Chain A
């Protein structure tokens, strides 16, 4: 990855770009041909088309933009004429990929990221490696996309309808979103989730921050053991936590109801909130202690020196500096509770049904694609949370002078 600009020689057309493009486009042709049960003919047509694209790219290196746009349009048109609107999108994609590949190979850009002394084999490996990484990223993100797409399905199916694939308006609707927002079945769980998660977060953040400050002091007896206990809710598998809590909270709840005469539904919420707060604690501890590692202790001394008592010091000096860590710990705790099924399934009663619980039952019994609408909304929420955490992390690094490049 040298910064020196070295002129990369253009590779020969006949010995490199043309055959490679022919094989590459041939593979596309094979797949497309297979749809019409003629893979070999498809391969041949593809190879010829690929060679043509290579020739174009080689002879018109300067008008790259126009050639690419033209090729994309042609491929799209072919798809539209041969099959329909759905295939047009596929055609556009194939056109984009092929024309890009042709220019990428022809201009020698495939070597731009490797040192000049790399052999052909090393260059090939480097590019294959990037391709593999791309596939893994695709594997990470791609599964989420069909969910979002399908949530606009006009039918009650978990699969694409022909109308959807042909981008016809009647194939799409906001029906599942209306179902989600308009029925008790989904709104009550959502409300429950929004009651339980903030309370659980509040408990774990307030207690967790105090404890993290305590843990970051220089002399803490039994630090390892305390840390192990506090982190354990994250390490112990949820099913075990849930089992343990089931045995413990059921009699506890009965006792609270019978002896203290507390309201049944209040006790139900209390049990789930306490259980979720315990699960959120490790996240708060980890993020806040991590922030405190970089905390400059002389600041508290300076503030004490100027006459501030420990409480003022905490709120005016320490808190603003560790706030990013506290907030991101809180977000982790929130998402842990908001996303948690197993414990609430075991500890809660039907009254405390949360959103993930409802999704879980829905998935097990396969009732309706309203789940997909719920999922899309949750993905949006998680994107917002992720952005917040990321911004906070950067802010914290800036505050501590660890700004990234």
Chain B
């Protein structure tokens, strides 16, 4: 904490005979400290130690603030572009969709619908498909019910295959058949891959023994079946904690076998196959024309006709990458289309209006704060200190009073049966039938917030005005200036930093206000922050909330930077 002590006492023991050598060396060498080292080095070391000590004192708080505040803010920024839910929920569909031409005129065919079926089946077992539906619903209303509805039909689609298989050979009904048929060696890589996909889907760790390893031979011969059964095995063993070999598989596994049998290569491979259960498989291959012949696309469209719509698929395709600018576009009333970025339909454009309203109302509030605060600050700065301190209490009391108290006060005053209206009606200035509407609109927000933020204008103005010597005004007047000229040309320019500081402070505070507009603002007096809160707690569109928040944050940081340039962060003062 002090340079002198460190330099003299902190640098070790003095050496004997030190005095003689020092005088000798100073004449032709570097200047030495008391311990015989070069003074420069000692000083540098002291400085370094001082820096370290300062940093050590700051470190705990810095770490605390970074962890509890900065990281959350960064996580919000990350949320505003994050979009891995589509990729995580339907990984194979997304991959298949890449080959599809979204500019074209046809929705994708079975090359997409087959992986879609298995992805969705898996997701619906894990109850994740509705989340995806809600996510895509933000971009195109109606998609949520499409996912939810089809999620219920997935079992039935598989059962159509299952019934036929079980008719062909009752062995298909047994758990042992599937387990023995598909078990084998060499499938560890496939197992791990499916496990990873599950982890991405559920966000949980899927560790533990599955009790099943797919065989590579089967993975080549019956690719869909092996994948579907592996998924089933992982889910059964780890989430449901059952023994895989004893459980009858999902309907999806039957559907997968049906899908495999549609490929002539697979049929040929089964003909040549001679391992366990080959007769059962061959029977199934021979009777494959009894299986449902509808394509998966037809089944999906039968479940919900929107699956056949080009628009739905374009939306899915546009929002399939893991990172999206969609939320940001959404927050400025734009939307992504296959032809690039376009404006939203007129009826859905609300955010630009809201941003604009937030800015305009914040400006009005800042303006009225300057208007009301300037005279008061001037008075406080020019009164004798004792009187000023007493009057200052009138400014500080609202500042210290709970925000909710002040907001409730304004609710009591402004409502239609409120005090202001009652007085006006009693005095006969306002007709009882046409009471003034002061609340639940922009007026209410502006009045209440001006009151709430006024101390934040007065305090910085006061501290700046306090530094302007009163003799300047007197000098100007004695040089012949009128009162107005003296004020406008001499005093006002010197108080501008105060206005700047106060305005930026009030503006920053008002632009992110939530509580007061929520209570007195109704619908036409609310800010962008109310919309953010709505998306967090009611509509649950968190990505959009994060994007709106990020935009607001950028505006505020820009203003903060200006504030720093004008007044400096160190000069923020509280309580006069």
Q: List A residues at the B interface (Cβ < 8 Å).
A: 31, 34-37, 39, 122, 125, 129-130, 132-133, 136-137, 139-141, 143-144, 146-147, 150, 158-160, 203, 207-208, 210-211, 213-215, 217-221, 224, 226-233, 235-249, 274-275, 277-278, 281, 283, 285-287, 289-290, 297, 300-301, 304-305, 310, 313, 318, 328, 332, 335, 338-339, 341-342, 345-346, 356, 359-360, 363-364, 371-372, 375, 378-379, 382-383, 385-386, 389-390, 393, 404-405
Contact = CB atoms under 8 A, between A and B. Distances in A.
B552 A240 contact: yes
Among A143, A146, A242, A346, max chain B CB count under 10 A is at A143
Interface string B57-80: 110111011101111111110010
Interface string B510-550: 01111100110000000001001100110000100110010
A345 to B, nearest CB: 8
Contact of B509 (A237, A300, A404): A237
Interface string B144-170: 000000000000000000000000000
Contact of A240 (B76, B384, B563): B76
A213 B1 CA distance: 9
B553 interface: yes
Contact of A310 (B1, B384, B407): B1
B406 A278 contact: no
B454 A237 contact: no
Nearest to A358: B404
Nearest to B9: A304
B21 interface: no
Interface in B464-515: 483, 508-509, 511-515
B400 A34 contact: no
Contact of A390 (B51, B393, B451, B553): B393
Contacts of B290: none
A133 to B, nearest CB: 5
B418 A214 contact: no
Contacts of A143: 406, 409-410, 413, 451
B5 interface: yes
Contacts of A226: 58, 62
Contact of B409 (A31, A144, A214, A285): A144
B405 A375 contact: yes
B369 to A, nearest CB: 11
B402 A339 contact: yes
Given A160-B422, A219-B54, A239-B514, A136 B574 contact: no
Nearest to A36: B428
A144 B62 contact: no
Given A245-B72, A248-B75, A139 B2 contact: no
B55 interface: yes
A385 B400 contact: yes
A244 B65 CA distance: 13
Contacts, number: 308
A382 B61 contact: no
A356 to B, nearest CB: 5
Contacts of B409: 143-144, 146-147, 375
A318 B64 CA distance: 24
B60 A210 contact: yes
B526 to A, nearest CB: 12
Majority secondary structure of chain A interface residues (helix, strand, loop or mixed): helix
A236 B47 contact: no
B454 A140 contact: yes
A133 B56 contact: no
Given A35-B428, A244-B72, A230 B54 contact: no
A301 B5 contact: yes
A129 B379 CA distance: 9
Interface stretch (B32-40, B186-194, B302-310, B565-573): B565-573
Contact of A34 (B385, B415, B427, B545): B427
Nearest to A157: B417
B342 interface: no
Contact of A159 (B68, B418, B560, B573): B418
Q: Which 3 A-B pairs have the closest CB atoms?
A: A237-B512, A214-B57, A248-B72
26 contacts: A129-B375, A136-B373, A140-B394, A140-B451, A144-B406, A147-B408, A229-B70, A231-B572, A235-B563, A236-B556, A237-B511, A243-B546, A247-B542, A248-B75, A290-B573, A304-B5, A310-B1, A341-B403, A342-B533, A359-B402, A359-B405, A360-B404, A360-B519, A363-B411, A375-B402, A390-B389
Contacts of A146: 409, 412-413, 419
Contacts of A328: 575
A229 B62 contact: yes
A247 B72 contact: yes
B382 to A, nearest CB: 9
Given A237-B509, A404-B385, A159 B419 contact: yes
Nearest to B2: A301
B400 A286 contact: no
Contacts of B418: 158-159
Contact of A301 (B4, B71, B407, B511): B4
Contacts of A236: 73, 512, 553, 556
A365 B455 CA distance: 29
Contacts of A286: 572-574
A233 B393 contact: no
A274 B63 CA distance: 13
A242 B532 CA distance: 10
A135 B144 CA distance: 56
A290 B571 CA distance: 9
Contacts of A235: 508, 556, 560, 563
A403 to B, nearest CB: 10
A182 B248 CA distance: 60
B273 interface: no
A376 B372 CA distance: 26
B54 A217 contact: yes
Contacts of B515: 341-342, 360
Contacts of A300: 1-2
A382 B529 contact: no
B398 interface: yes
Contacts of A37: 428
A149 B417 CA distance: 16
A159 B422 contact: yes
B378 to A, nearest CB: 8
B426 interface: yes
A238 B3 CA distance: 41
A229 B389 CA distance: 33
Among B379, B384, B422, B569, max chain A CB count under 10 A is at B569
Among A240, A246, A300, A390, max chain B CB count under 10 A is at A240
B405 A363 contact: no
Given A233-B69, A342-B533, 11 more contacts: A122-B483, A137-B391, A159-B418, A215-B54, A226-B58, A243-B549, A244-B73, A245-B72, A278-B65, A281-B65, A290-B573
A214 B55 contact: yes
Among B406, B513, B556, B574, max chain A CB count under 10 A is at B574
Contacts of A310: 1
A83 B397 CA distance: 35
Contact of B69 (A133, A232, A338): A232
A169 to B, nearest CB: 22
Contacts of B536: 243, 246, 346
B64 A277 contact: yes
Among A147, A289, A313, A378, max chain B CB count under 10 A is at A147
B389 A404 contact: yes
Contact of A332 (B375, B509, B552, B574): B574
Contact of B412 (A158, A244, A404, A405): A158
A374 B1 CA distance: 47
